[in-house]
């Protein structure tokens, strides 16, 4: 019950109860419908490839691009009368590859040269030594970003392992730097060649739409950290696209040769727009980030912004909706966690534990009323906020995990899943280490494999 409910008369309360009941049913139905829709797309590929597939299209993807390309490739091959099946890399075995005879790998690289979270088991277990793949024909499409030191690191390691396993390359590895259109066109050429026809459309990234900046609010006045803003954006067309908690938006930087930036969505569609938490990026040399600088300092209210909503499947609630959930994050990472908490509350799931870190309680207590309200009404079972600069020693979210080790083990034993959102450096690696210390290496890998440890970290 919300605090305001206490002041309503009985008939209004009944009305609210009916409304919130309907909202609950609608949220659950929407989540089930979207999950089913996605399963149907995958199932269509499976059905087309029923029997023994001659092609496997295996993917490892963190934020969804490799997955979208893989789905397109499998559909393309099936359309050409071939039998192609999709597989997440972590679920793939060498036996399946040998049975299929031809395998296309579409993989991205994450972290600092790491594999995406849905390829950890494949890399540690299968790629630890060469396999017997001399009878298998393979092709590798590696997605990456050349500004990282380990450019296409995982794609290159995978390709080297395939070579050491004596697999037969169908073509030389194709590397795609930040969605480079020439490299993608070359990939489509190869795909058409393999499919034996060129009459199906190439994969194209969804178009950017015009949105409008409707509001901007500073959340951390007086903070030692860089200013963090809540932005509200609405589509110029007035037609709001659908998204789920955990999804991202991409904003096109007109100032920066068309490169987009990703931001986690903090709102649900029923709030009427996309809410983002954007931190002004400012490095030690005083360099101001192009897009965060523009969004937080320059763009006027009402200004037009090119934006597209992007599904972030690895970070969605999906099958975890009815599990207890532990949300862990820092800084602007609260955005992705807020979206999930709102979805959980709408679905009347109250087994939620939030562990959130910032610098000072006095200036960085973001959404304090909302979070404390959720705690007092029971929508949050446990709330740990840690402010690293307030005490005598630095204390981060990973320290909270260690201190609460017994309770953490109980939650995990009761089937809980973990959602981590925020900084890759420092926070995400520290959380990973603390989880490994408390739960053990194997348990952490199993959680990843089961989709019970999901991350949106950057």
Residue 290 interacts with, from ligand FAD, ligand FMN, none (CB under 5-8 Å by kind): ligand FAD
Subset of residues 342 to 401 that bind ligand FMN, contact rule: CB under 6 A: none
Residue 291 interacts with, from ligand FMN, ligand FAD, none (CB under 5-8 Å by kind): ligand FAD
Please state, as a whole number, how many other Cβ atoms lie within 10 Å of the Cβ of residue 327: 24
Backbone angles phi, psi at 289, to 5 degrees: -55, 140
Q: Which of 55, 105, 353, 458 binds ligand FMN (CB under 6 A)?
A: 458
CA dihedral (328, 283, 433, 310) in degrees, to 10, reads 50
Q: Which of 75, 332, 379, 423 binds ligand FAD (CB under 6 A)?
A: 332
Residue 144 interacts with, from ligand FAD, ligand FMN, none (CB under 5-8 Å by kind): ligand FMN
Subset of residues 191 to 250 that bind ligand FMN, contact rule: CB under 6 A: none
Question: Which SS3 state, helix, strand or coil, does residue 396 take?
Answer: coil
Q: Which of 110, 203, 396, 419 binds ligand FMN (CB under 6 A)?
A: 110
Question: Which SS3 state, helix, strand or coil, does residue 141 take?
Answer: strand
Q: Which is nearer to ligand FMN, 143 or 343 (CB)?
A: 143
Instruction: Select the residue whose beta carbon is closest to ligand FAD and give its number.
Output: 289
Instruction: Select the residue whose beta carbon is closest to ligand FMN and give its number.
Output: 144
Subset of residues 61 to 90 that bind ligand FAD, contact rule: CB under 6 A: 63
Please state, as a whole number, how many other Cβ atoms lie within 10 Å of the Cβ of residue 99: 14
287 binds ligand FAD (CB under 6 A): yes
Strand partners, 438: none
152 binds ligand FMN (CB under 6 A): yes
Question: Which SS3 state, helix, strand or coil, does residue 398 take?
Answer: helix
Residue 162 interacts with, from ligand FMN, ligand FAD, none (CB under 5-8 Å by kind): none
Place of tokens 């691009």: 65
Cα(30)–Cα(240) distance, integer angstroms: 15
Q: Which is nearer to ligand FMN, 98 or 205 (CB)?
A: 205
270 binds ligand FMN (CB under 6 A): no
- Among the residue ranges 27-35, 148-156, 294-302, 440-448, the one whose residues contact ligand FMN (CB under 6 A): 148-156
Q: Which of 72, 121, 261, 385 binds ligand FAD (CB under 6 A)?
A: 261
DSSP β-ladder status, 174-177 and 274-279: unpaired
Residue 332 interacts with, from ligand FAD, ligand FMN, none (CB under 5-8 Å by kind): ligand FAD
Question: Which SS3 state, helix, strand or coil, does residue 85 take?
Answer: strand
262 binds ligand FAD (CB under 6 A): yes
Strand partners, 233: 213, 274
Beta strands in 170-314 (DSSP E): 174-177, 209-218, 228-235, 248-252, 260-264, 274-279, 304-310
Residue 456 interacts with, from ligand FMN, ligand FAD, none (CB under 5-8 Å by kind): ligand FAD
- Among the residue ranges 35-43, 149-157, 207-215, 255-263, the one whose residues contact ligand FAD (CB under 6 A): 255-263
Q: How far is the CB of 221 from ligand FMN (least distance, A)?
A: 29
Q: How far is the CB of 109 from ligand FMN (least distance, A)?
A: 4
Q: How far is the CB of 64 from ligand FMN (least distance, A)?
A: 5
Element containing residue 138 per DSSP (H, E):
strand 137-144
279 binds ligand FAD (CB under 6 A): yes
Q: Which is nearer to ligand FAD, 26 or 254 (CB)?
A: 254
Tokens standing for residue 195: 């499919």
Q: Is 158 exposed, middle or buried (0-12, 13-18, 19+ CB in 10 A)?
A: buried
Cα(351)–Cα(349) distance, integer angstroms: 6
333 binds ligand FMN (CB under 6 A): no
Tokens standing for residue 372: 């404390």
Q: Which of 27, 53, 64, 412 binds ligand FMN (CB under 6 A)?
A: 64
Q: Is 189 exposed, middle or buried (0-12, 13-18, 19+ CB in 10 A)?
A: middle
Q: Is the dihedral of CA 387, 389, 394, 396 positive or negative?
A: positive
Among the listed residues 239, 225, 316, the one whose alpha carbon sits nearest the alpha carbon of residue 273:
239
Q: Give me the residues that bind ligand FAD (CB under 6 A), please.
A: 63, 248, 261-264, 277-279, 281, 283, 287, 289-293, 332, 335, 456, 458
């Amino acid at each position: 019950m919300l605090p305001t409910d206490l002041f309503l008369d009985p008939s209004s309360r009944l009305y609210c109860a009916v409304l919130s009941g309907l909202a609950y049913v609608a949220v659950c139905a929407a989540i089930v419908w979207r999950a089913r829709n996605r399963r149907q797309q995958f199932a269509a590929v499976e059905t087309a490839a029923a029997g023994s597939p001659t092609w496997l299209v295996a993917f490892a993807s963190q934020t969804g691009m490799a997955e979208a390309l893989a789905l397109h490739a499998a559909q393309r091959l099936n359309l050409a009368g071939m039998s192609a099946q999709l597989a997440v890399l972590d679920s793939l075995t060498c036996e399946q590859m040998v049975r299929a005879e031809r395998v296309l790998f579409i993989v991205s690289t994450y972290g600092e040269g790491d594999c995406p979270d849905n390829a950890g088991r494949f890399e540690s277990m299968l790629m630890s030594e060469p396999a017997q793949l001399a009878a298998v024909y393979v092709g590798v499409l590696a997605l990456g970003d050349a500004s990282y030191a380990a450019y296409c690191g995982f794609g290159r390691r995978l390709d080297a392992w395939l070579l050491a396993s004596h697999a037969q390359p169908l073509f030389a590895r194709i590397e795609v730097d930040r969605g480079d259109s020439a490299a993608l066109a070359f990939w489509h050429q190869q795909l058409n060649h393999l499919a034996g026809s060129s009459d199906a459309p190439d994969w194209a990234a969804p178009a950017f739409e015009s949105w409008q900046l409707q509001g901007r609010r500073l959340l951390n006045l007086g903070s030692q950290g860089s200013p963090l803003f809540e932005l509200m954006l609405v589509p110029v067309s007035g037609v709001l696209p659908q998204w789920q908690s955990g999804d991202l938006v991409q904003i096109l930087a007109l100032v920066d040769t068309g490169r987009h930036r990703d931001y986690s969505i903090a709102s649900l569609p029923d709030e009427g727009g996309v809410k983002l938490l954007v931190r002004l990026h400012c490095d030690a040399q005083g360099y101001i980030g192009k897009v965060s600088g523009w969004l937080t300092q320059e763009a006027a209210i009402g200004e037009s912004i090119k934006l597209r909503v992007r599904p972030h499947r690895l970070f969605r609630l999906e099958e975890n909706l009815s599990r207890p959930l532990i949300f862990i994050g820092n800084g602007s990472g609260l955005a992705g966690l807020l979206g999930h908490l709102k979805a959980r509350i709408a679905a009347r799931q109250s087994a939620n534990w939030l562990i959130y870190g910032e610098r000072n309680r006095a200036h960085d207590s973001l959404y304090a009323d909302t979070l404390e309200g959720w705690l007092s009404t029971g929508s949050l079972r446990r709330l740990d906020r840690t402010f690293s600069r307030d005490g005598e020693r630095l204390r981060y979210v990973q320290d909270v995990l260690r201190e609460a080790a017994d309770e953490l083990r109980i939650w995990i034993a009761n089937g809980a899943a973990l959602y981590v959102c925020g900084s890759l450096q420092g926070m995400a690696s520290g959380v990973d280490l603390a989880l490994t210390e408390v739960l053990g290496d194997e348990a952490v890998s199993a959680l990843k494999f089961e989709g019970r440890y999901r991350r949106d970290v950057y």
